[in-house]
Each structure stands twice: as C-alpha cells, then as structure tokens.
Structure 1
Amino acid sequence: MSLWRRFYYEETAVGVVEIILILVVLISLVVIFKKQLTSIVNNIFKKITTESNKI
C-alpha cells in the first residue's frame, strides 16, 4: 500500500508542474501578442456597440 501512496503523490507533483508550465506558456503568449489581442478585442467591442445601437 505504501508503494501506491508514493506513486500517487509523485504523479500529483508531476501534474502540478505541468499545470505551472502550461500557465507560463499561456502568459508568455499573451505578453508576446498583447498588441494584436487588444486590437482584436477593441474591434469586437466596437462591433458589438454598433450592432446594439441598431436594435
């Protein structure tokens, strides 16, 4: 039973490391493409505003 507990905790630690690495990659992508993302979001909000004014 001790072997299974150690295996479980080792796997949990690996999962945490993977999640942290994924978050680091996502944050890096957002920082790299910040200008493009802000322009896309601004265009979407402008379109929503103009379309809602037509109603």
Structure 2
Amino acid sequence: MERQLPDLAVVDVMMPNMDGYTLTKKLKEIADIPVLLLTAKGELEDKEKGFLAGSDDYT
C-alpha cells in the first residue's frame, strides 16, 4: 500500500492476530478506499460493528 493503493479491500472479520474490524479502521485511516467485510458472522450487532468501523458493505 506504500507504493500503490488497491482499488478495493476485501476483509474477513475472523482473522488471526487482528480482527477485520480493526483492520478496516486502520485502512480507512490510511486511505479512502472501499472496504468490503466478507464473513460468516451475520448478526445485526456484527453488521453494526462493521459499519461503525468504516466498512462500505458487509456481506
């Protein structure tokens, strides 16, 4: 990302070391790129947390 920004970031919520919500926040701090959270977690609270983190969509 230091050399070239991606057009889109597809992020999983359940990752080792850093969850997708945290990564989404960090990505949005660095650049204004669309972030799609792709996950099996589909509860309303999970979606809300994803959008509050800055994701553009949650699937």
Whose helix proportion is higher, 1 or 2? Answer: 1
Q: TM-score, normalised by structure 1?
A: 0.26
- Greater strand percent: which structure? 2
Higher RCO, Cα 8 Å, sep 6+: 2
